[in-house]
Amino acid sequence: MTTTSDRPKASTPATSGKMSVRDRWNSLPRPQQWLLLIPVVVLIYALPVLNPPLLTTEPGTNFPLALFDAARFALIAIGLNVVVGQAGLLDLGYVGFFAIGSYVAALLTSPDSVLWHIPYLWTLPLAMVVTMFFGLVLGGPTLRLRGDYLAIVTLGFGEIVRLLATIVGPLKGQVGFQGVGSPPGTNSEGDPIFTTSNGTAWYWLVVTITIAILFLVGNLERSRVGRAWVAIREDEDAAEIMGVATIRFKLWAFVIGAAIGGLSGALFAGQVGFVNNQKFDVPTSVLFLAAVVLGGSGNKVGVVLGAFVVSYIPNRFVELAAYKYLIFGVALIILMMFRPQGLLGARQRLLAYGRQAYMRLVGRPEQVSADSSLRGEGEKAG
Amino acid sequence: MPVAHEGRVPVISTILLAQGHDLLAQGPDWIKFDVAAFLGQFWSDTIDGLTYGAIYALVAMGYTMVYGVLQLINFAHSEVFIVGAYAVFFTLSALGFGTSAPNLSTAALVGDLVLAMLVAMLVSGLVAVLLERVAYRPLRRRNAPRLAFLITAIGASFAIQYAIFAWRGPNPEPAIIMFRPEPVFDIGGVIITSQQLVIFVAAIVLMIVTDQFVNRTRLGRGLRAVAQDPDTATLMGVNKERVIVLTFLIGGILAGAAALFYMMRVPAGAQFNGGFILGIKAFAAAVLGGIGNIRGALLGGLLLGVIGNYGATLFGNGQWIDVVAFVVLVAILMIRPTGILGESLGRARV
């Protein structure tokens, strides 16, 4: 899993003065990046214990639970970012995969389910496998088509999953499944650690998983697969001509995104302990999309930030919670107009690779502004 | 582990086995394959399906024309439609309609309904044009990529939906009964009610008028020209921006008309998210007929209405309609992505 060959070369002193924070960060060797990240990660882990006064969501919402919510959104946003941000495929039914993951966990651990039961932690990989299968089934036929058809098909898919959860008898509709399993473990008094009210434990679990997924997705991005995704996102026809197997790589992005959605669904089911058909409507899907677009699609740190904003604001300002769909709907329109790259835009990786090559040859950086996937095409045309 | 040995049996049957024998013996009650009911209700399903299909077709026109001209899926079109439904609700409420059919002479009733339709057309048309102005035009100015348009469209859809939600709350408005459906024709036991007749005929007439407008008038020619080749059309003196506004306006007007018929068929249809599923189905209808093709939208709408009804009867539950419509959409995209009549608004020439 080493990606040393793709990693940017160590910083060039001649230009470091002009470099932006991001360029400077990207030019650091990986061990140094990790070293700098350690305090940040420690702080993230410590958050529910610190419960900082201004940041806290109490008394409105239990702070560790709000943090769990944010971490769950971050995981979802990272998964959706692979589909929307990396490969440029608009998936409006992401909640469908999330729902399937939840139902996998519920069906295999809840006492209300008549299926055979397995330990909760086993449902996490299983949920990923099952959602990958559904991603394949949905993506297989539709990814061959124009990109905008995918949007409406996925939108329909999200709604159909919810409808099937209502109609199909064994999925129990609104009655749902009580007592979904949780990871094992007891504290010193013998009480289970992972209870529905103990947000801290769940938060730590999800943060750990999120960091692992970030690491994996980051490696994928820097690999051949990631470059193929960016090529498809920037110009599918050109990518095809250059020999990128576009359909296969699009399917990969779709399936990997689906798997992460399923994983987060299973985690959500475990924390809430209850799964029914009420939590998987399409507005939730659009909220996920808002997290990705708001933070900056194609930028991992950006989408995590976006996920935090989208989940934190309704928890922190409870009076706004009822209007969250309105707020984020309007936010999407305004963002597309004034800052289509989101809070933290993705830099055009392809250009970045080109720039490195240029720098190696010429010895000075090319003057190209960092830009986003949502802007690139337009700049070209305009 | 009761089914541990079932290595090669497909997943679904393993689930059924685990459900116990009673399910296998009588079949689950949530899905049937009721051929007898299907045959028995064939004609009434067909007629009702055509009624619904006419409504889908009217809404599908908005999707198909915008797509034909801008290659944009206007997700917010379902909200343009539902705003029209609210306009119908408020107009008819103001005119004294309520939860029971009013006692009016036919002329007065027709007058009221036409008034409600005109108000709905006006409101929906305005919302559609406003949407174009506020959300899409700035993006066109910036030459934004298609992904940005799609995200804006879905954002606009939700902004309108939840603005209505903030204003009117989650529940549907009280039912508005316009008139009591009376049987008009009885063909060998198959009854066609006045309601079905009114919806079907009025919708078809509106679609024919639109089709003729696009195919025969000067403005319509400009519209087709822009759909065919925006740059050349601009060079030939067609005002592209005006054509785009016109496209949104026509789509909105037809959605407003569809809202009246929808409220006729579904009296308590005015709900903040009531347009959403209908929008997906209307889009599916547009794709089925061939997106960008006006006659295709009509054909696709009628077909989808009928197929959905057949599916609901066959599977024994009205909720299957949406599932069937979605499966039809995916199947069409797989087998014949250009739809039955083929794509392109610009192809037909005069």
Tell me which range, A85-89, A236-240, B199-203, B286-290, is most confidently predicted by mean pLDDT.
B199-203
B138 → chain A, closest CA residue: A337
Taking the alpha carbons of B203, B205, B206, B211 in that order, is the dihedral positive or negative?
positive
Question: Taking residues B68-85, what's their average pLDDT?
Answer: 90
pLDDT at A180: 76
pLDDT at B9: 40
Residue B118 has pLDDT above 90, yes or no: yes
pLDDT at A76: 92
pLDDT at B273: 84
Element (H, E) at B191: strand B190-193
Q: What is the mean pLDDT of chain B?
A: 83
On chain A, the residues whose CB falls within 8 A of the CB of B334 are 141
Taking a C-beta distance cutoff of 8 angstroms, is the pair A322, A361 a contact? no
Taking the alpha carbons of B296, B299, B302, B303 in that order, is the dihedral positive or negative?
negative
Of B291, B213, B305, B193, nearest to B253 by C-alpha is: B213
Question: Taking residues B2-12, what's their average pLDDT?
Answer: 41
Chain A nearest C-alpha distance from B159 (Å) = 5
A155 contacts B28? CB cut-off 8 A: no
**Which pLDDT tens digit goes with each residue over B121-131?**
999 999 999 99
**Which pLDDT tens digit goes with each residue over A17-67?**
556 777 777 777 778 888 888 888 888 887 777 777 777 777 777 788 888
Main-chain phi, psi angles of B193, to 5 degrees: -90, 165
On chain B, the residues whose CB falls within 8 A of the CB of A84 are 147
Interface of B with A in 89-128 (CB under 8 A): none
Taking the alpha carbons of B144, B145, B149, B155 in that order, is the dihedral positive or negative?
negative
Taking a C-beta distance cutoff of 8 angstroms, is the pair B314, B35 a contact? yes
Q: Which domains does chain A have, with CATH numbers?
A: 22-42+60-183+197-381 (1.10.3470)
Of A302, A312, A359, nearest to A16 by C-alpha is: A359
**Which pLDDT tens digit goes with each residue over B17-65?**
444 444 444 456 667 777 777 777 788 888 888 999 999 999 999 999 9
Taking a C-beta distance cutoff of 8 angstroms, is the pair A223, A3 a contact? yes
| Whole-angstrom distance, CA of residue B206 vs CA of residue B202 | 6
| Whole-angstrom distance, CA of residue B291 vs CA of residue B281 | 13
Angle between helices B320-335 and B294-315 in degrees, nearest 10: 130
Read off the tokens for B331.
Answer: 């199947």
3-state secondary structure of B183: strand
**Which pLDDT tens digit goes with each residue over A6-15?**
444 444 444 4
**Which pLDDT tens digit goes with each residue over A305-321?**
888 888 888 877 877 77
Banded model confidence at residue B251, pLDDT cuts 50, 70, 90: very high
Interface of B with A in 125-144 (CB under 8 A): 134-135, 138-139, 142-144
pLDDT below 50 — which residues of chain A? 1-16, 368-373, 375-382
The CA distances from residue B149 to A234, A340, B118, B193, B249, in Å, are 16, 10, 30, 43, 19
| Whole-angstrom distance, CA of residue B50 vs CA of residue B260 | 16
